[in-house]
């Protein structure tokens, strides 16, 4: 289809070249006043006209392609400018929304960990908060106690990695906003200390949700 279109353009240009122009007009005048023109002259003109007809047909396609490319670039430029003017800026959550979000995330984390929690023994042969380095007597630990200590240690380590820094920054913002109370002070203390009991994570997340209810919406 493209070749037929190109061939059609060649024929149009070839017809224009062999039937018009200064050279053809001069040759026709020369022949018209009684001079004989050899056939090879016409064949030469026809052959040269084929070459130039092909060139002009290619030039037509080239100009069409350039015009289409320019239009495409112009449309894309207009679209980029429109997108830039209509660009949606990221929505920054309010303090209230941020508090509720992290409260839900921490509660989800706590309940997810609780599903796989081992049965906790009544007695842990440990001192203080460090369940791994302050064992009274390693030899006296049974498997249930080992599983419980591992669960508590891993849970607290994951919490520290995922939430503690963000929670500390959030509490500072809450206090700067003017929201006060014993639960706020308790939450601030929680972010600065390491607690031995995993259930304190749930308590802290619940307190945060309660505090979030007192934060203005805007």
Residues 175 and 76 in one domain: no
Residue 87: Cβ-neighbour burial (10 angstroms; 0-12, 13-18, 19+): exposed
Q: Which of 85, 103, 124 is the last residue of a domain?
A: 85
Summarize pLDDT for 114-161 with one digit per residue, the tens: 887 776 655 555 444 444 444 444 455 667 777 777 888 888 888 888
Q: Residue 120 and residue 77: Cα distance in Å, rounded?
A: 65
Summarize pLDDT for 77-99 with one digit per residue, the tens: 888 887 777 665 566 678 888 88
Q: Which of 85, 109, 143 is the last residue of a domain?
A: 85
Query: How far are the Cα atoms of 45, 160, 161, 175 from residue 17, in angstroms, in the given order?
Result: 9, 85, 82, 88
Residues 173 and 194 in one domain: yes
Residue 2: Cβ-neighbour burial (10 angstroms; 0-12, 13-18, 19+): exposed
Position with higher pLDDT, 20 vs 83: 83
Residues 65 and 122 in one domain: no
Span of 11-15, 20-24, 108-112, 192-196 with lowest mean pLDDT: 20-24
Within-domain flag for 37: yes
Average pLDDT, the chain: 75
Total domains in the fold of the chain: 2
pLDDT of residue 104: 92
pLDDT of residue 188: 82
Residues 72 and 139 in one domain: no
Tokens of 124: 């842990």
Q: Residue 94 and residue 73: Cα distance in Å, rounded?
A: 41
Residues 80 and 150 in one domain: no
Residues 143 and 80 in one domain: no
Q: Which of 61, 85, 109 is the last residue of a domain?
A: 85
Residue 151 · residue 117 · CB < 8 Å: yes
Could you tell me the pTM of the whole model?
0.49
Helix axis angle for 143-159 and 199-212, nearest 10°, is 30
Summarize pLDDT for 172-185 with one digit per residue, the tens: 888 888 888 888 88
pLDDT of residue 69: 84
Q: Residue 108 pLDDT more than 50?
A: yes
Q: Residue 22 pLDDT more than 60?
A: no
Within-domain flag for 116: yes
Summarize pLDDT for 23-46 with one digit per residue, the tens: 666 666 656 666 676 667 667 666
Q: Residue 210 pLDDT more than 70?
A: yes
Within-domain flag for 39: yes
Q: Residue 137 and residue 126: Cα distance in Å, rounded?
A: 8
Residue 13 · residue 53 · CB < 8 Å: yes
Closest C-alpha among 191, 188, 194 to residue 134 = 194
pLDDT of residue 180: 85
Closest C-alpha among 108, 156, 109, 116 to residue 132 = 156
Residue 140 · residue 117 · CB < 8 Å: no
- pLDDT confidence tier of residue 165, bands split at 50, 70 and 90: confident
Residue 37 · residue 16 · CB < 8 Å: no
From the CB of residue 190, how many other CB atoms can be counted at a distance below 10 Å? 20
pLDDT of residue 19: 67
Boundaries of domain holding 127:
95-212
């Amino acid at each position: 289809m493209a070749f037929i279109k190109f061939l059609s353009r060649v024929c149009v240009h070839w017809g224009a070249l062999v039937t018009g122009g200064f050279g053809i007009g001069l040759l026709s005048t020369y022949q018209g006043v009684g001079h004989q023109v050899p056939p090879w002259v016409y064949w030469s003109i026809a052959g040269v006209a084929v070459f130039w007809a092909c060139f002009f047909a290619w030039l037509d396609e080239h100009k069409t392609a350039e015009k289409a490319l320019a239009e495409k670039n112009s449309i894309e430029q207009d679209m980029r400018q429109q997108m830039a003017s209509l660009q949606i800026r990221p929505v920054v959550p309010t303090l209230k929304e941020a508090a509720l979000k992290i409260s839900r995330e921490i509660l989800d984390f706590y309940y997810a960990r609780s599903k796989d929690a081992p049965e906790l023994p009544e007695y842990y042969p440990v001192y203080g908060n460090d369940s791994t380095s302050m064992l009274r007597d390693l030899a006296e630990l049974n498997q249930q106690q080992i599983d419980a200590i591992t669960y508590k240690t891993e849970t607290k380590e994951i919490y520290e990695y995922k939430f503690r820094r963000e929670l500390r920054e959030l509490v500072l913002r809450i206090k700067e906003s003017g929201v006060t109370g014993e639960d706020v002070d308790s939450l601030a203390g929680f972010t600065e200390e390491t607690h031995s009991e995993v259930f304190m994570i749930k308590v802290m997340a619940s307190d945060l949700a309660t505090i979030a209810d007192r934060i203005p919406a805007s």
